[in-house]
Structure 1
């Protein structure tokens, strides 16, 4: 799954949960946290595997349930203790949703559930990345673009596109948290300087 798809899953889930249970939209810090946490496993494991060969594949420590669950709990507890429970919940939601999001689409697409990806160091996934981080990323991106241009999009592509569009609309409905706050700050700063 691409990083922006992880970001969409994290934001969508967190926003809907906050609307349902707290009767409000996510705050800016919560939105930034849930999106950042939802892509964090890839930002950690992919460079370590693709560029530095620390892990045999892009599924290492950051994708492991043995690391992710304790870390999410610890961040939530620390954030709650400092009066930022929502930010802690956003981190836990984004980070923990990354793991099933890397496994479930394979079940939907080809009937296999590669849970071994989430069990480092007990189980590992073997791969080879001779082109390093940028080359591997370019290959994956060009393969995805070629797939999109090769004919009519699959039902899966339509579903992903629909979820992304719904998330964008929800984010706009929420007031564009994460962008709204800096924009308000800048507007107020400019107004105060004009006085």
Structure 2
């Protein structure tokens, strides 16, 4: 999945969870934690593979359940110790949703379930390694251009339309939630202006 797809799905899942369980919208720290954590596996693995050639594919350390579960527990324990358990839960939910989403995406795009995407170093992914001549930014731009071409051609696939629909739903939910993160930033700025 693309990073923005992970971010959208993570926010949708946590916001709905927050409304059902806590009966309120997520605050800015929770929203930031879930979105950041939902893209963190890619932020770890993709640059290490594409930019630095440390890994062969882009599904190693950050995508491994053997790393993800201990990291989520550690962040959750820390968040609880500083009085922000919901932020720790948001982080864990965002991070841990990333892994099955990539496995599901491997089935949707390639027609086969690849559990090895999340089992590094016990099992490794059998993908063609990315060309290490391209930097992380160049590789990301190349992949993004594929979507751009489809949209500019004026004939988006059902997959693109579904992504647009989910993104619109997430944006509407984020606005309904009071635009967390943006809201806190604006409140902080207004507070600074009031002090002057």
TM-score (norm 1): 0.93
- The answer on 1:79 being equivalent to 2:82 is no
- The answer on 1:178 being equivalent to 2:181 is yes
Equivalent position of 1:145 in the other structure: 148
Q: Report the secondary structure of 1:102's partner residue.
A: helix
- The answer on 1:101 being equivalent to 2:101 is yes
List gaps (5 residues or longer) in structure 1. none
Runs of 4+ with >6 A deviation? none
1:1-195 correspondence runs (5 A): 1-125=1-125, 126=127, 127-129=129-131, 130-193=133-196
List gaps (5 residues or longer) in structure 2. none
Which piece of structure 1 moves more, 174-183 or 76-85? 76-85
CA RMSD in angstroms comes to 1.4
Q: How many residues align?
A: 193
- Indicate conservation of the 8 Å contact 1:63/1:118, yes or no: yes
Deviation at 1:95, TM superposition (A): 0.6
TM-score (norm 2): 0.92
Alpha-carbon distance in 1 for matches of 2:183, 2:87:
17
- The superposition leaves residues 69-88 of structure 1 with CA deviations (integer Å, 9 ceiling, x where unpaired) of 11112211221132111010
- The superposition leaves residues 42-69 of structure 1 with CA deviations (integer Å, 9 ceiling, x where unpaired) of 1111110001111101111000011101
Q: Report the secondary structure of 1:103's partner residue.
A: helix
Q: Report the secondary structure of 1:57's partner residue.
A: coil
